[in-house]
Amino acid sequence: MFLADDFNCVLETSDSTGQKHFNRALPSLVNGLDLHDVWDAASTNNGYTHYASKTALRLDRIYVTKPLRTRKTGVETIATAFTDHFAVVVRINN
């Protein structure tokens, strides 16, 4: 399973440099489906996907099942011209 969306909320205080928008439904969904975040918590890149005048937030998230998570070889954000969000690109080994 692969779940990706602009969830418009954060899970951790480190997901935002400004106001935090928490929602209890997202962790319930992720835990209930036993999904795993593709972003590495130890990464030096914070994974922010939306930037506003004084804040940066990690709103766009990708969750996968454990078998897909173990096949992940990389994840990065890329600026795009057609939206105010960064794209999240995940590389998975065949």
Indicate whether this model's pTM tops 0.85.
no
State the pLDDT at residue 52: 87
Bridge partner list, 23:
none
Q: In whole angstroms, give the CA distance from residue 44 to residue 21.
A: 23
Q: Which domain holds residue 76?
A: 2-92
* Cα separations in angstroms, 32 against 13, 25, 42: 22, 10, 24
Span 29-56, pLDDT tens digits: 999 999 999 987 656 678 899 988 889 9
Based on the structure, what is the number of domains in the chain? 1
Bridge partner list, 91:
74
| CATH number for position 33 | 3.60.10.10
β-strands 36-37, 2-6: how paired?
unpaired
